[in-house]
Each structure stands twice: as C-alpha cells, then as structure tokens.
C-alpha cells in the first residue's frame, strides 16, 4: 500500500474549487432561442422566442440512436452525430437535466443495466395522457391535411445499390437481421449508471417525466420523419401531452432518398421535415445553444455556411431575412440566424458561429458588441471572407461617436472601411423613393434578371455620396424630386480581400419586390465566387 499523499495548498484550493464548479454546473440555466413557424394570415412565418429553462425541470430524450441500421448511409450519419450528441448529454446531465435513452426494441440488451432498472422502478404516474403508449401518426387533423413535405414511401434508404447489398451481407455475417440489425444503443453515447434512464415504453417514459417534475423536453436522435415524431416518447406525444418540447434540429437526421419527390438533396429533405415540425408540432433549437460554437452539420452536406447577424427593430429583418433564406438560398446554403438578445440588445448569443461561416450577412443597427464578440466579426473580415450588408448595416456598430458601455466596443469606420459607404443621414420616410439599374454595370452578375426601369422601394433614401473609390455602383435611387441621386446598392473589396455587397434597401416592402429579391439572391452567389 502506498504512503498517504500530503494535503498540499494546491489540493486545498482544489477541494474548494471543484465543489464550487460542480455547484455552478448544476445551477446552469439553458438559455434557448426557439424557432417555430406559427400560421398567420394563411402563412407560416419563421419566428423566434427566447426561453430560459431550469435544467432540473428538463429532460433530454435520445431517440433510436442504434448501433446499426439497415441503411448504410443512415448508419454513417448516425455515427457522425455521436461525438457532439454525447457532449450535449454530458453538459445537460452535469447541469442537472434528466437523460432518457430510448433505443427502441433493444430493452433485452439492457435487462440487467442499472439505468433500465431505474426506469422500471419509478412510481407509476397518477394518470396517463390518452394514447401515450402508442405510436402517433399525426398530432392533429391540420398536420394530417398538410402531409409530409418529402416522400419516404420507399423507406427512405439512400444507399447506392452495390453498397447497400454489401452492407446487408456484412450485417448477416455479424449475425444481424439486415432489415432490423440494431440490438443496443451506439456505444459512443455514455449512459450514466447512477443517473440516467433507459426505456422505450411510453408509460415508463411518462412515469419518469412526472416523477421528476419535468416540464421541458429536448428530443435528439433519429429519424425525424419517422421515430422522432411518432414514437410514444416522440415529439407529437410530448407536445400533445402538454410538455414544453423542442427538437434539437442539428442533432437529428431523416430517412429520405433524393430519388423520391421533391427530388432535393438528402440534407435539404431534412430541412423540409424540420420546417414541418416547426409548423405543426413544436419549436426547434440547435446544439450550439448548450455547447457554443457552430451548429453541427454532416460531412457530406456540401452547402456553404451563412450566418445572418440580425439586430435591428425598424425593418423587421428578423422576419424577412430568414424567410428570404428559406425561399431562395436553402438549396445552396446552410443558414444560421444569430439574433440580438431581446432584453440585452448588444448581446448576440451564438455569434461564435461566425468563426466557421463562409459568408456573413449583417443587418444590425447601432449596437456596441462585447469586445470579444466584435473581434469575431473583425477576424472574419480580416480573413478575407465575404460580407453582405443590409440597410442599417451602414451604422451597425456605430453609436454616433458616443462611448460604448464597459466591456463593449464600437466600429465607427465599419461603413467606410468594410462596406465602402458614407452614410450620413436619410431623406424623410414619407418621400417616395425609386431605384434603377446603373446601366454602366448592367452586365454585372448581381444584376442578372433585374429589370432596368424605375421601381418603387419601401423605405427612405439613405444619403451616402460620395462612396469609397473601390466601389462599383449597381443601383441608384431618388427621393421624390430631391437631388442628388444616391447609390442604393454597390460592391466593394476590402484591403483583406473580402468581397462585399451592400444595399441601403431592405425595408420590409422591398422583400416583396422581385427586383430586390433577384438582386439579393444573385449577391449571395457573387459573394461566394472566388
């Protein structure tokens, strides 16, 4: 037996700090930005709401993260999810949340596992929601009438024929049923024997939620258009039973074969199912809201990453830009929206995602960001990456020369140095403004499909003359009969090599005009051109 170790000063500090760290972890609150699509005037508009969840009232349910699947590509994608999903479970567990592992049809494997026994030992609930033990096909008639936005009637397998046949033979060689090869949850997800629960039973799951006084539920796992929605512990049952349930939309996958309608990529098919969930079942969140960094994406999803930094109250770009992205960009880009916090307007939770973005869109008005956050934007541009600025981006980080709050920073020269602009005011909102193509630039790719005649714009005309010498003016504008005419859209190149497109348009009405949406869509393609 070894000699006892002296209790050093460093150990005394650890004895104090470790319990303190654990206490802080257990009191960690989940600050979540929930995205959903309520129906208004016959349209489902993307909206966001902020909620703070007490981890002790929150459960994370892991749906069908099996050790193998009959679809090889599904198996591979599931494996990609595992490391970050396990980090989510660890963070949530340490904060005090309940973790429920639900690998359906695998309970025999766990018959002697403490987490399985724990689920079975929970006292029965005093009552159960109607049908909680059953699969639920539709949450209501409204969802049923809408139908699914992708066709998975072929089972959703997206393997190449030869690869699928080889995988089936490999499964048989391992003694697995090629049509149902799962026997347990993937080993990469930690099951805490002292804290977690294992069950695929709707009533047992409900017992755990009720016994632990769980109000909030986060669903992770696969597959969204099948098990995640339909299982007795799935999104529909949780929403129908009154739980505050969300899908973690970057910690899931679908069963969808792009050879089936609507003939989009597998990953775009997943996007469409997520939109369906947000319309008819429950909101969604992303993993970065717990872990920081950027949301997860699959290695084979080749779309470029766009981050939209939105923080202004006048022009409703928190609504118009996400809707524009959904309609015009989703096939080519993965778009993440980083909103200013509604109660702390200088704070942009999730801004760390800018570090990994390929393109940054800025629609911000007079915000002083934390110095570390503004440095993220500076570093992005210093790396020569492209930027698109919308309307108030010309004074995004300017407080008109006023000192920023402690720990915050402004960037008064952002307009001139990055956008190539010179914003110094605007004409009255009541003065009608028209815009037209600068014919000297009529062949610019950003203007492809934009009509050359005058067209009405929605907002006041910004005064920006003269622009920087490295700009190319694409559109001009006029306020009534006032002079001079002013540029309203141009390109610029920064000293670091960033391609920049800016437009002083961006009023909510502009997003209804095809000239504006065509120009903006083209600007994304141009900005990403090397």
For residue 305, what are its two tokens? 């990453």
> Mean per-residue pLDDT for 52-77?
98
Q: Residue 297: inside a domain, yes or no?
A: no
Task: Provide the domain limits for residue 491.
Answer: 304-527
pLDDT digits (tens, 9 = 90+) for 391-414: 999 999 999 989 999 999 999 999
Sorting pLDDT into bands at 50, 70 and 90, what band is 5?
Answer: very low
Q: Are 513 and 528 in contact (CB under 8 A)?
A: no
**Together in a domain, 135 and 229:** yes
Structure tokens of 259? 């050879």
**Is 255 domain-assigned?**
yes
> Can you spell out the DSSP letters for 113-161?
-HHHHHHHHSPPPS---TTTTS--S-SSHHHHHH--SS--TT------H
Residue 319 has pLDDT above 90, yes or no: yes
Q: What is the pLDDT of residue 40?
A: 87
Burial of residue 119, with CB atoms counted within 10 A of its CB: 0-12 exposed, 13-18 middle, 19 or more buried? buried
Instruction: Tokens for 468, please give them.
Output: 């920087």
The confidence score (pLDDT) of residue 41 equals: 84
Higher pLDDT, 15 or 485: 485
* CATH for 339: 3.40.50.880
* Best CA proximity match to 488, nearest among 455, 514, 512: 455
**Exposure letters 29-66 (e unless 16+ CB within 10 A, then b):** ebebbbbbbeeeeeebebbbeeeebebbbbbbbbbbbb
Asked if residue 317 and residue 265 are part of one domain, the reply reads: no
Q: Is the pLDDT of residue 342 over 50?
A: yes
- Each residue of 106-134: pLDDT tens digit? 999 999 999 999 999 999 999 999 999 99
Dihedrals φ, ψ of 414, to 5°? Answer: -55, -45
* pLDDT tens per residue, range 303-312: 999 999 999 9
Assigned domain for 222 exists:
yes
Q: Is 350 exposed, middle or buried (0-12, 13-18, 19+ CB in 10 A)?
A: buried
CA 43 to chain CA mean position, Å: 21
> Quick check: is 309 in a domain?
yes
Asked whether the beta carbons of 336 and 274 are under 8 A apart, the reply is no
DSSP 8-class letter at 228: I
In DSSP notation, 334-390 reads EEEEEEPPSSSTT--TTGGGGGG-SEEEEEE-S--EEHHHHHHHHHHHHTT--EEEE
Q: What DSSP character marks residue 42?
A: T
Does 257 share its domain with 369?
A: no
Peptide bond into 262 cis (omega under 30): yes
Looking at residue 261, what is its pLDDT?
Answer: 98
For the chain, report the end-to-end CA distance as a whole number of angstroms: 66
pLDDT at 42: 85
Bridge partner residues of 479 (DSSP): 433
pLDDT interval class at 494 (50, 70, 90): very high
pTM score of the predicted model:
0.91
Looking at the fold, whether 280 and 312 belong to one and the same domain comes out as no
Has residue 14 got a pLDDT over 70? Answer: no
pLDDT value, residue 401: 87
According to DSSP, residue 25 is labeled H
Same domain assignment for residues 241 and 287: yes
d(CA 269, CA 273): 6
**232 backbone dihedrals φ, ψ, rounded to 5°:** -60, -20
**365-385 per-position pLDDT tens digit:** 999 999 999 999 999 999 999
Residue-wise pLDDT for 445-475, tens only, equals 999 999 999 999 999 999 999 999 999 999 9
- pLDDT at position 22 is 40
In whole angstroms, give the CA distance from residue 133 to residue 234: 11
Put the strands of the sheet holding 433-437 in their side by side order: 333-339, 304-311, 359-364, 387-390, 499-503, 486-493, 471-479, 433-437, 455-457
Residues 212 and 318 in one domain: no
Proportion of the chain above pLDDT 70, given as a percent: 95
> Which of 258, 291, 324 is the last residue in one of the domains?
291
Residues in contact with 156: Cβ distance below 8 Å, sequence separation at least 6, in sequence order: 71, 223, 225, 226, 254, 255, 256, 257
Both tokens of 34, joined, read 């929930």
> Mind listing the pLDDT tens digit for each residue in 213-250?
999 999 999 999 999 999 999 999 999 999 999 999 99
Give the containing element (helix H, strand E) for 499. strand 499-503
Residues 75 and 106 in one domain: yes
pLDDT-derived band at 7, boundaries 50, 70, 90: very low
pLDDT at 135 (0 to 100): 98
pLDDT > 60? residue 485: yes
Radius of gyration over alpha carbons of the chain, in Å? 26
Q: Which of 3-7, 44-48, 52-56, 252-256 has the lowest mean pLDDT?
A: 3-7
Q: How far apart, in whole angstroms, are the C-alpha atoms of residue 10 and residue 111?
A: 44
Whether 157 is covered by a domain: the verdict is: yes
Q: How far apart are CA 410 and CA 402, in angstroms?
A: 9
Would 176 be classed as within a structural domain? yes
CATH of the domain at 240: 3.40.50.850
Are 242 and 165 within one domain? yes
Buried (b) or exposed (e) across 265-274, using 16+ Cβ within 10 A? bbbbbbbbbb
Q: Which of 291, 324, 358 is the last residue of a domain?
A: 291
Whether the per-residue pLDDT at 2 is higher than 80: the answer is no
Cα atoms found within 13 Å of the Cα of residue 517, Cβ hemisphere only? 17
CB atoms under 10 Å from CB of 69, counted, come to 25
Greater confidence, 18 or 447?
447
Do 220 and 351 sit in the same domain of this protein? no
pLDDT for position 9: 41
Instruction: Assess whether pLDDT exceeds 60 at residue 12.
Output: no
Is 10 among the domain residues? no
Residue 270 and residue 221 share a domain: yes
Provide the number of structural domains found in the chain: 2
314 and 220 both lie in a single domain: no
Q: pLDDT tens for residues 44-53?
A: 999 999 999 9
Distance CA 66, CA 183 (A): 7
Please identify which residue in the block is written with the tokens 């066709």: 151
Residue 319 lies in a domain: yes
- Is the pLDDT score of 10 beyond 90? no
**Residue that terminates a domain, selected from 256, 291, 326:** 291
Rounded distance between C-alpha atoms, residue 482 and residue 464, angstroms: 14
pLDDT at 162: 97
């Amino acid at each position: 037996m070894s000699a006892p170790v002296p209790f050093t000063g460093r150990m005394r500090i650890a004895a104090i700090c470790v319990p303190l760290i654990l206490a802080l972890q257990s009191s960690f609150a989940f600050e979540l930005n929930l995205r959903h699509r309520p129906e208004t005037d016959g349209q489902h508009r993307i909206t966001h709401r902020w909620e703070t969840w007490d981890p002790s009232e929150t459960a994370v349910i892991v749906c069908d993260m099996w050790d193998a699947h009959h679809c090889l590509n599904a198996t591979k994608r599931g494996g990609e999810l595992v490391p970050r999903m396990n980090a989510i479970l660890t963070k949530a567990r340490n904060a005090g949340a309940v973790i429920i592992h639900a690998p359906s049809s695998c309970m025999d494997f766990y018959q002697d596992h403490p987490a399985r026994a724990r689920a079975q030992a929970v006292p029965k609930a005093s009552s159960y929601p109607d049908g909680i033990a059953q699969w639920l096909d539709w949450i209501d008639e409204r969802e049923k009438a809408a139908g699914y936005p992708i066709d998975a009637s072929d089972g959703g397998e997206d393997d190449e024929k030869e690869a699928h046949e080889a995988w089936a033979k490999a499964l048989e060689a391992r003694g697995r049923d090629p049509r149902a090869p799962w026997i347990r949850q993937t080993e990469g997800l930690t099951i805490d024997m002292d804290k977690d629960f294992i069950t695929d039973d709707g009533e047992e799951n409900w017992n755990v939620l009720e016994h632990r006084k769980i109000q909030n539920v986060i669903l992770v796992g696969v597959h969204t258009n099948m098990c995640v929605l339909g299982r007795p512990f799935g999104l529909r049952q949780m929403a129908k039973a009154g739980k505050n349930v969300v899908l973690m939309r970057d910690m899931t996958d679908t069963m969808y074969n792009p050879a089936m309608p609507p003939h989009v990529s597998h990953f775009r098919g997943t996007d469409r199912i997520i939109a369906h969930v947000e319309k008819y079942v429950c909101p969604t969140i992303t993993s970065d809201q717990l872990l920081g960094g950027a949301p997860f994406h699959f290695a084979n999803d080749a779309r470029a990453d766009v981050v939209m930094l939105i923080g202004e109250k006048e022009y409703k770009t928190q609504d118009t830009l996400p809707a524009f992205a959904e309609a015009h960009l989703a096939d080519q880009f993965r778009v993440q929206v980083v909103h200013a916090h509604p109660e702390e307007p200088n704070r942009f939770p999730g801004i760390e995602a800018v570090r990994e973005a390929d393109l940054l869109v800025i629609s911000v008005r007079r915000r002083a960001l934390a110095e570390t956050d503004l440095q993220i934007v500076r570093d992005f541009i210093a790396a020569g990456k492209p930027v698109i600025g919308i309307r108030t981006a010309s004074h995004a980080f300017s407080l008109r020369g006023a000192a920023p709050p402690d720990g915050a920073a402004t960037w008064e020269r952002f307009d001139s140095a990055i956008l190539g602009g010179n914003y110094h005011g605007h004409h009255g909102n009541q003065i009608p403004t028209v815009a037209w193509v600068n014919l000297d630039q009529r062949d610019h790719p950003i203007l492809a499909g934009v009509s050359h005649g005058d067209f009405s714009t929605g907002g006041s005309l910004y005064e920006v003359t003269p622009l920087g010498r490295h700009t190319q003016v694409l559109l001009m504008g006029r306020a009534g009969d006032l002079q001079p005419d002013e540029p309203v859209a141009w390109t610029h190149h920064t000293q670091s090599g960033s391609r920049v497109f800016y437009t002083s348009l961006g009023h909510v009405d502009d997003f209804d005009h095809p000239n504006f949406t065509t120009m903006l869509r083209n600007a994304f393609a141009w900005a990403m051109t090397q």
